[in-house]
């Protein structure tokens, strides 16, 4: 029996993610730089192949979120290599739009739930956002406002995603954890006394898993090919 195309694409995404993280761990800049731009296109291809036509509003919005995530990935990788400050803000802007699109995509599902609210634990994202910005604020300088706005956006996404299903809830939490590793930056490296490149290992391992779970949660939420019910026979 042939393997379903979505499973192949999801497997390809997982394989490239592992190669990318291993490249980070081994400090092989060429490997990590080449693989990073492949991640979101592979995940988008998985979502497209898993979704019945016409695409739902949620799928269209999440495809947009993946596109802006790709912009963020490429811009932040370029900023790391070139140290051009403006690329940081391009990357942050890409991920800000990503979070907004996820919020817009997931909100109708949350509203349709009974009762229409996220689980109470999701409000912990509010506390998290305040603590993280307060803790890192003195070191952010001119980046403080941009990071504060982004923190509000990703915490909102975490709250909304927690009410869709377990996959989106865990994916959103991992996305927040990944961004925490970025925000803490060198403080984390110094605290845990490991090489600098391992901070990027933590960032990318949680980020790739987060995006994969968010997208798989969308497939489950809109009854993708593995959850699709048979069409009724014509009479």
Q: How far is CA 144 from the centre of its chain?
A: 22
Rounded to an integer, the average pLDDT of 104-127 is 78
Predicted local distance difference test score (pLDDT) of residue 113: 66
Range of the structural domain that residue 89 is part of = 5-221
Whether residue 226 lies inside any domain: the answer is no
Q: Does residue 206 register a pLDDT over 70?
A: yes
Predicted local distance difference test score (pLDDT) of residue 230: 43
Whether residue 233 lies inside any domain: the answer is no
**Domain count within the chain:** 1
Whether residue 232 lies inside any domain: the answer is no
Q: State the SS3 of 76-97.
A: HHHHHHHCCHHHHHHHHHHHHH
Whether residue 235 lies inside any domain: the answer is no
Predicted local distance difference test score (pLDDT) of residue 82: 87
Whether residue 229 lies inside any domain: the answer is no
How far apart, in Å, do the first and last CA atoms of the chain sit? 30
Whether residue 104 lies inside any domain: the answer is yes
Percent of the chain past pLDDT 70, that is, above it, reads 83
Predicted local distance difference test score (pLDDT) of residue 138: 67
Whether residue 227 lies inside any domain: the answer is no
- Encode burial over 70-84: b for 16+ CB neighbours within 10 A, e otherwise: bbbbbbbbbbbeeee
Q: Does residue 45 register a pLDDT over 90?
A: yes
pTM, to two decimals: 0.85
Q: Does residue 32 register a pLDDT over 60?
A: yes
Whether residue 119 lies inside any domain: the answer is yes
Tokens matching residue 139: 């070191």
Q: Does residue 76 register a pLDDT over 80?
A: yes
Predicted local distance difference test score (pLDDT) of residue 188: 54
pLDDT digit string, tens, across residues 121-161: 777 888 888 887 777 666 667 777 888 888 889 999 999 99
Predicted local distance difference test score (pLDDT) of residue 187: 53
Mean per-residue pLDDT over the chain, rounded = 84
């Amino acid at each position: 029996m042939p393997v379903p195309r979505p499973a192949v694409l999801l497997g390809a995404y997982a394989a490239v993610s592992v190669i990318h993280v291993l490249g980070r761990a081994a400090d092989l800049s060429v490997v990590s730089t080449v693989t990073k731009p492949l991640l979101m296109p592979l995940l988008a291809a998985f979502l497209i192949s898993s979704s019945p036509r016409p695409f739902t509003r949620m799928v269209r919005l999440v495809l947009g979120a993946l596109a802006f995530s790709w912009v963020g990935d490429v811009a932040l990788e370029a900023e790391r290599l070139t140290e051009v400050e403006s690329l940081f803000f391009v990357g942050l802007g890409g991920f800000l739009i990503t979070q907004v699109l996820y919020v817009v995509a997931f909100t109708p599902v949350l509203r349709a739930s009974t009762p229409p609210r996220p689980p109470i634990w999701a409000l912990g994202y509010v506390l998290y956002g305040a603590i993280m910005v307060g803790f890192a604020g003195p070191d952010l300088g001119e980046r403080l406002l941009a990071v504060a706005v982004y923190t509000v956006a990703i915490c909102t996404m975490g709250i909304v995603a927690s009410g869709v299903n377990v996959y989106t809830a865990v994916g959103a939490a991992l996305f927040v954890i990944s961004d925490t590793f970025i925000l803490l930056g060198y403080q984390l490296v110094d605290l845990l006394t490991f090489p600098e490149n391992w901070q990027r290992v933590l960032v990318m391992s949680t980020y790739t898993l987060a995006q994969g779970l968010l997208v798989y949660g969308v497939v489950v939420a809109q009854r993708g090919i593995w959850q699709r019910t048979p069409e009724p026979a014509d009479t």
